[in-house]
Chains A and B, each alone.
Chain A
Amino acid sequence: MVLIEILKVSVQNIWSNKMRSILTMLGLIIGIMAVVIITTLGNAAQADIYSAFNEEGKGKININLNYNTERPVQYRDFFTEDDVSAVDSHEDVLAASAEITRWVTLNYGNEETTINLLGVNSNYNEVESIEVSRGRFLTEEDVRGRRNVIIIDERTAMTLFDTLDCIGEKISVTTGYFTAELMVVGVDKLSDSAILNMAMGNYGYGYTPITIASRMYYTDRYPRLMVHVNELVDVDSAGGRILTLLERRNKDSEIYRVSNRESEFKQVNQVINTLTTIISGIAAISLLVGGIGIMNIMLVSVTERTREVGIKKAIGAKRGVILLQFLLEAIILSVLGGLLGLAIGSAIGYGMVSMFKLPFIISSNSITMAFIFSILVGVIFGVYPANKASKMDPINALRYE
């Protein structure tokens, strides 16, 4: 009941000094705002990567040649068509495809663009999640019959044709040594993940039968296997079993590097997490500055209102009442600042996240944290001035000019 009266007076005091109150809160507003923006961005990036992983990364293993071993890589270390079929038929494996990549230049009329062209098997769309928005993916006939066909991504389609409806168009593809005319049979949709798309940069990509790629790149062996393992098996042990299989096929397993995308995703997530925490930590220093600002103004306020304290004590206010009065004012200021910072930070965070087409997640966690932090700042930096006011001698306070 006394508390309600004190609260009313606090609000009234803050309200009647609007400009000063806002300036007092500014430090805290900016601090909380910064932390909220950074965590919003961090959360968005993580959520994006998480869903990208769920869609595109689960159960995926790459087997690459490791060029960093003592023994140099030899021709026999590369994978043959038979190796690919053997891995593909392994019980842990849903689908396996070879992959050769080169940067190639595409020409259509006057348009020219450079893409990363992947020579793959026809089951590559079971290995990677590929979704064609126009046409179709590669078929076994394409691969076996060495058909001159290509699937390009939407970005490349737009660059070359200004439209996604380009099925049947013929484009000239050159590696520098070899030029071929390939017909567009499909257009691959861009990933839903803004971060993955960003990581791809402005370069497009395309798929062509591995048989065509072998001819273009003058090779019949492949440096890399892309494997999609059975959902029920553990990716790490599946990787081990595939290596054993390769060893039985007279391969030296020491020369391969098996990476599963789960651990890659985990690493990226870890990095984002660490970055978010560090930057938030730095931003949190401004909370300290905001707190000092509040303390400063509260000290001024205590001095200004010395007489008021004297009057209240003279008519019977106990120490606790005076203490609570100033402490509550500090807490209201800091909580108000915190909420404003949260609101502004969320708005800016939302703006930035939508600009990058990332999901907007405002976690109740960050709201609670902002709230708790601002109360803490109010208490920590309000206690000293409030205590100072409460300890005033009534008669000295009354005499204060």
Chain B
Amino acid sequence: MIEIKNLSKIYKTGNISVTALKNVTLKIEKGEFVGIMGPSGSGKSTFMNIIGCLDRPTSGLYVLDDKTIENMSDNELAEVRNNKIGFVFQSFNLLPRTSALKNVELPMVYAKVSAKERRSRALEALDWVGLGDRTHHNPNELSGGQKQRVAIARSLVNQPAIILADEPTGNLDTKSGEEVMEIFKKLNKDGVTIILVTHERDIAEQSKRIVTFRDGEIISDELNDREAKLKSDPA
């Protein structure tokens, strides 16, 4: 479903140009759970932003669901972000002074869902991430873990095929991080493709496939032993 060939991204600031991604080639199938690791500055976020259609590559091919992204207009990309992709950020990126419910409803506003359906689906999503009792709280009245769960509810409410999470547990304590990971695993079980960037080995260990970046290149791409073992273990 995601096919990337020789993807490069070069940032030019004045005379200096930084190569954030170098000839990255990768294929991700529907229903995968991919963990992305790598040192700081290795291009993980750049990669995620391009997959998430927030940014365009400098060169190379990106095909999402048989559609070449580079030919799409800004508005078409917005549509893809709206109904194919859910984004979860390290810094939550919820709208301030806006209730959890309204935050979760927003992607459906852009998808032109009726007000009534919006409300019921948002409530359902919030309930699903365990925040059924916090629907009318504004982000500043929620804990980090709760904010991230609102963000996840928002990312999944349009039933996207892919959820991209860039260090979703980076700002959370271990317990909240675990809760968030549980939600992702549950989503993955329902067939949603998950791509997740993390610095923490044990978070990455919970995915089925680990891709490692260094200096804008993929240096390793392997199935997760532990996950594989768990799967093959008949017990």
Contact = CB atoms under 8 A, between A and B. Distances in A.
A16 B75 CA distance: 30
Contacts of B1: none
Contact of A315 (B74, B96, B154): B154
A311 B106 CA distance: 10
B193 to A, nearest CB: 18
A317 to B, nearest CB: 5
B106 A312 contact: yes
Given A1-B112, A1-B114, A395-B54, A315 B107 contact: yes
A320 B112 CA distance: 14
Interface size grouping (class) on chain B: 20 to 34
Query: Secondary structure of the A side of the interface?
Result: helix
Interface stretch (B27-35, B78-86, B174-182, B207-215): B78-86
B54 A308 contact: no
Contacts of B96: 308
A5 B109 contact: yes
A320 B89 CA distance: 25
B54 A315 contact: no
Residue of A2, A308, A314, A316 with most chain B CB atoms under a 10 A cut-off: A316
A385 interface: no
A321 interface: yes
A269 to B, nearest CB: 55
A314 B54 contact: yes
Contacts of B106: 312, 315
Given A308-B95, A395-B54, A395-B55, A316 B81 contact: yes
Contacts of A312: 95, 106, 110
B95 A316 contact: no
Given A2-B109, A2-B112, A318-B110, A313 B78 contact: yes
Nearest to B81: A316
B93 A398 contact: yes
B184 interface: no
Given A314-B81, A315-B107, A319-B75, 13 more contacts: A2-B110, A5-B109, A16-B97, A307-B93, A311-B95, A313-B81, A314-B93, A315-B82, A315-B87, A315-B154, A316-B81, A317-B82, A395-B49
Interface of B: 49, 52, 54-55, 74-75, 78-79, 81-83, 87, 89, 93-97, 106-107, 109-112, 114-115, 154-155, 158
